Homo-oligomer: A and B are copies of this chain.
Amino acid sequence: MLTPKPLNSPAHSTSKPTQKTIAEITGLAVTTVSRALQGDEKIAQATRLRVNKVAEDIGYVPDHAAQRLRTGKTKVVSLILDPHKEILGFGNSLITGLAHALAETDYHLNVTPQFLGGDPIEPVEYIVRNKLADGIIFSRTRPFDERVRFLREHSFPFTTHGRTEFGYQHSYVDYDNEKFAYESVLRLMQKGRRRICVILPPSHFTFHQHLNYGYMRAIRQEGLECYKPEGISLDSDMPEIFEWAQTIARTADAPDGFICPGETSFLAIANGYRQAGKGRGRDFNAVVKSSSQTLHQIDPHIDNISEDIQEAGALLGANLLKTMLHPDGPFEQTIQDPDITFPALKAYQD
């Protein structure tokens, strides 16, 4: 597995082997070597085999910089990672899934962090201007996302995690948050809850709309009242949510059901209610969207609907690869279906 020692012929002993080295050894022209390595059918098969053999023997590896300079292709995919607070291990899972999708290709993964409070368009512009990648992936999409507009204008391949509401099509992967919210309300009603509250992400994100719509549809259908906390969102810090929950828990018509589209918001709420002397199962229930096993360990009886982030990463990778191959569509649009399999009711009257 270690780098093989270079051959000891005078011409190519010291420095690292290039196509020129192979050309000298085989007696072929550099052009021929290049095309043989690319698997060009116009090169005799015997030659291709010989070149590849020599290449392997001397430990030739193509120079990315040179290929990039010549072809204009970076062979890099950029993931813009923003500080998701609400989902435990979001970044890791997404990266892992994406890496799997790219593993069989010759694309590399480049992660550009989106700093908290920074303008989301910045990293995108930077990558496009400096041609740091051939394709971009980002999340926390907005209905009329500036980044989508920018990338489309520049005909730069991309895939988003989350939909937009532009008239035109683009590649995305999203989770059916509408269904998640709708089903969550029903589940909480099954448990006898009527004052059902939903924790929403900031309203400028597209998935705010989806969650809200699913929630409102169920609320109206069931004739319930609508509870949406003021000043609290999925992006609020845990202590902030905790404080709010503690306060609201002590009010007369405190919510008795919570829809938490993220794990951390649930933890803060449960803590707040506990502090106010209210217990889960007795005084309230919650449905949580989770993407790790963590909640199951905290309390095995929590109703949770899982979102497979690693799968999302893999799908994003696959969709982006297709987009880079066919930049003018058709665009792959994938919606992850929430896996609604709640345990039977009677066992969970905790």
**A225-243 to B contact mask, C-beta < 8 Å, 1/0:** 0000000000001110010
Query: How far is the CB of A266 from the nearest CB of chain B, in Å?
Result: 9
**A110-137 to B contact mask, C-beta < 8 Å, 1/0:** 1111010000011001000111100000
A188 proximal to B (CB < 8 A): no
- Of A3, A65, A83, chain B has the most CB atoms within 10 Å of the CB of A65
A41 to B242, CA, bound (A): 58
Contact of A113 among B96, B131, B298 (CB under 8 A): B96
Q: Are B125 and A99 in contact (CB under 8 A)?
A: no
What band does the interface of chain A fall in when counting residues whose beta carbon is under 8 Å from B? Answer: 35 or more
A90 proximal to B (CB < 8 A): yes
Chain copies in the assembly?
Answer: 2
A329 to B94, CA, bound (A): 36
Q: Are A109 and B111 in contact (CB under 8 A)?
A: yes
A271 proximal to B (CB < 8 A): yes
Question: Which residues in A have some Cβ–Cβ distance to B below 8 Å?
Answer: 1-3, 59, 61-66, 68-69, 74, 81, 83-84, 88-92, 95-96, 99-100, 103, 108-113, 115, 121-122, 125, 129-132, 150, 237-239, 242, 264, 267-268, 270-271, 293-294, 296-300
